[in-house]
Structure 1
Amino acid sequence: MKIRVGVIGCLGRMGKKILNELAINTKIEIACAVTRLGNKHVGLDIGPIIGYGSDLGIKVTSSVNDAFELSDVVIDFTTKECMLDCLKAAIKFKKPLVSGTTGIEGIKLKEYATEAPILWSANMSVGVNVLLKLVRNAAELLGNEYDVEIWEMHHNLKRDSPSGTAIELGKVIADASKMDFQLNQYLYNGSNIREKRRIGFAVSRGGGVIGDHSVMFVNSDERIELNHKAIDRAAFVKGAIQAAIWLYENKRETPGLYSMQDMI
């Protein structure tokens, strides 16, 4: 039997790509496609809207509750406010939720995850999650003798800064290096110098860049760099779908907070 998947944010950049990939996945069927209330496409078949070429038999809805009621697992790529609605619905219907929504500071995911299986990652790319493991290993091996700088670049429409992935990289390094993680270290000016045992952040925005991340370990003698560049959003799409399948097949009866690190 196929896994029924609902998609929240179905008309966004990620939502459309996820639906197109789901439509050709033999293990999955699309159960529901949700967009914001008042969108002109509500009530229309999702197929032509996402450029699939024919009807898929799924009409766009604005009800998050419908998605959780009709689906085995739900994928969310939206906003902080919409993600909160998804978390509440996941608890209400006891259904697994996969979310790649970023800019969610203040949401206590662990509390929601006590009542439903939730997989959240700042970046759904398998490659980025391999990078996270490599960065952790590097931080453990290099100790505290190296300054750590994280640089990221995204398209000019991205709202949160630094990116969720950059923040996650910083947290992994801080944990491995036994240092306090502080986000407000990415601006330097003439009145201060770089502090030791702090992680520096630099942010660039421009054009249609999907996502570039670089982690640098630097001392007076050498610099070690670990990089990831997203070539196509398909990497995030395929990772999110893998995560949905994994969460449903392995954790649907086990509430908890999971990540791509658990899956890979």
Structure 2
Amino acid sequence: MKAPRSKLASLFSLNQHRKRLGAADVANRLDQLNWNEMRDQIIDGDKLEYTYGSDKNLQMHLDSLKCEFVGRSELEYYHATLIVLIRRGFRVDEEFKRFEKLWYEQKEFLINKLNTRWLISACDTFIDHSDDDYLRSLLMNAVILVNTIKMQESERYLTATENAKVDASRYSSLQNERLALFDGVAGFAVGTDDTLRNMRWRLDKLAQSHPLGGVVIEIFERVQKLNADTVYSRFRALHIRDKTAWWQD
């Protein structure tokens, strides 16, 4: 399993630098906004459309992302924008403090209004950057729950044939198209997806925060074994991209 990129490596990554271009202007615009007013401002548009992948140009990515929030509040889009800035490594400590403050001041609104896709993105953000180990551990339950459901539903789509074997055309479609599951949640790009690798990185970091954390890692490894016949092991058998592997050899 590939190790996560260090903070130093991210700092000097040309690709990461390109993905942060224009971030200061975006953050400055966010500084001028009023959270309470944004709750009542609805985003106009012709059609709600989910993003698939991520444009390296920050502004282009944010413009595409806004289509996910057509008919929804500006505050929900603001929340998503903060997550994008944090994930692209822009003033992470400062932007995470703003993200954390937003959640504590607007938690009822965010919990009730955000779809499951963005609630899980929020959980991932807290797990990555919060100093509260209890909160991080608590939110990891939601991440594992939804990711396991995503796997099971993606497999059901992949094997919805008479003999319940993997359908080649559906496998290909999962590589190239977004499979809508429920409440904004999309299926796995089976074979290449980095979702489980990222989840494993977070799980490893959490496990290191307690002397008995190894119990969780051992159980997680056991469900990956090819003879275990679980959705995790079956997806492992279909995986072809080494850098997004989520198990230890």
Provide the TM-score with structure 2 as the length reference: 0.29
Provide the TM-score with structure 1 as the length reference: 0.28
Give the structure with the higher percent strand.
1
Higher RCO by CA contacts (8 Å cutoff, separation 6 or greater)? 1
